[in-house]
């Protein structure tokens, strides 16, 4: 009983599911962007039919975990998420959705699940991200975080969008957002993935989404990573196109269609 309680509390801390559907046929696990929490993607639960239960991953250093130290590297993040989710993912078919930084975490978790447990999402939905072995990803790995001034980080966050301007007027919120963004970027820089010759890690289908006004991402290279089908969609807007209600409706409807057509 104590062990179960510990597991449950660990799960609730790391994985947020405000719209629980114990009878759902499928699980969709969402992974938020750098500096982000669970508030937006966890709310997707109410947009899906009763056959899909939606959860969002919460990393240390934010929301109810704001007093915890930030994760130091991608391996720590992957291990914690895997520990919290493993039992659930063994019970039902599951898909992942990640945006930007979240795409890379979802990829790393999926890779770990496949290599260590022989488990694989039946669909990876990736948004606003390069394939992790592409040359376009290299500049992210080499930017010097410690040399970047706070105002430059803030300017970048403002350019990306997605953060209400009134929040950025609050000094404490702004300071914490800059810190969280830096720490998430530090984690991202520790993602190491070398595409081995003739080794295709996944067999699941992959769908890539991008904002039409966002910088272009090397999504073609995702082809190298699965033997499944791959498709690409460009939706109107910038890096945070997915926060537009019309795009949110398109995404949730399209993801639902993919899940229901998976024939599981």
The enclosing domain of 20 has a CATH number of 3.40.50.1820
Residue that wins the pLDDT comparison between 218 and 159: 218
- pLDDT tens figures, 167-190: 777 888 788 888 888 899 899 999
Label residues 26-60 b or e (16+ Cβ within 10 Å = b). bbbbbbbbbbbbbebbbebbebbeeebbbbbbbbb
- Structural domain of 175: 1-261
Quick one: pLDDT at residue 9?
Answer: 46
Quick one: pLDDT at residue 234?
Answer: 95
SS3 of residue 188 by DSSP: helix
What domain count does the chain have?
1
Burial class (CB in 10 A: 0-12, 13-18, 19+), 119: middle
Quick one: pLDDT at residue 232?
Answer: 95
Catalytic, out of 123, 130, 217, 239: 239
Nearest to 29 by CA among 18, 39, 19, 16: 16
128: left (phi over 0), alpha (psi -120 to 50) or beta: left
Locate 125 and state its tokens. Answer: 């939905």
pLDDT higher than 50, residue 18: yes
Locate 112 and state its tokens. Answer: 């770990």
Sequence-distant (6+) residues with CB within 8 A of 260 are 51
Residue that wins the pLDDT comparison between 14 and 164: 14
Task: Give the rounded percent of residues in the chain with a pLDDT score beyond 70.
Answer: 94
Q: What average pLDDT score do residues 144-156 get?
A: 80
Task: Give the rounded percent of residues in the chain with a pLDDT score beyond 90.
Answer: 60
Residue owning tokens 């949110």: 248
- pLDDT tens figures, 62-113: 888 989 999 999 999 999 999 999 999 999 999 999 999 999 999 999 999 9
Sequence-distant (6+) residues with CB within 8 A of 60 are 68, 69, 70, 71, 80
pLDDT category of residue 162 using cuts at 50, 70 and 90? low
Q: Is 239 a catalytic residue?
A: yes
Catalytic, out of 55, 100, 103, 127: 100
Q: Is 100 a catalytic residue?
A: yes
């Amino acid at each position: 009983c104590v062990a179960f309680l510990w597991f449950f509390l660990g799960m609730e801390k790391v994985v947020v599911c405000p719209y629980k559907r114990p009878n759902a046929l499928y699980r969709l696990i969402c992974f938020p962007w750098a500096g982000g929490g669970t508030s937006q993607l966890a709310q997707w639960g109410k947009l899906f039919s009763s056959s899909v239960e939606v959860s969002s991953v919460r990393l240390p250093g934010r929301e109810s975990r704001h007093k915890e130290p930030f994760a130091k590297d991608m391996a720590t993040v992957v291990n914690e998420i895997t520990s919290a989710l493993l039992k659930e993912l063994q019970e039902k078919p599951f898909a992942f959705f990640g945006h930007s930084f979240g795409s890379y975490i979802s990829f790393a978790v999926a890779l770990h699940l496949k290599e260590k447990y022989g488990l694989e999402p039946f669909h990876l939905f990736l948004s606003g991200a390069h394939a992790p072995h592409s040359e376009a990803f290299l500049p992210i790995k080499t930017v010097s975080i410690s040399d970047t001034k706070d105002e430059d980080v803030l300017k970048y966050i403002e350019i990306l969008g997605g953060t209400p301007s009134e929040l950025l007027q609050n000094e404490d919120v702004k300071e914490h957002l800059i810190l969280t963004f830096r720490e998430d970027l530090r984690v991202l820089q520790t993602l190491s993935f070398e595409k081995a010759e003739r080794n295709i890690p996944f067999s699941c289908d992959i769908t890539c989404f991008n904002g039409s006004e966002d910088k272009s991402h090397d999504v073609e290279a995702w082809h190298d990573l699965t033997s499944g089908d791959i498709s690409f969609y460009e939706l109107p807007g910038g890096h945070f196109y997915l926060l537009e209600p019309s795009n949110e409706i398109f995404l949730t409807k399209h993801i639902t269609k993919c899940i229901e057509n998976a024939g599981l």
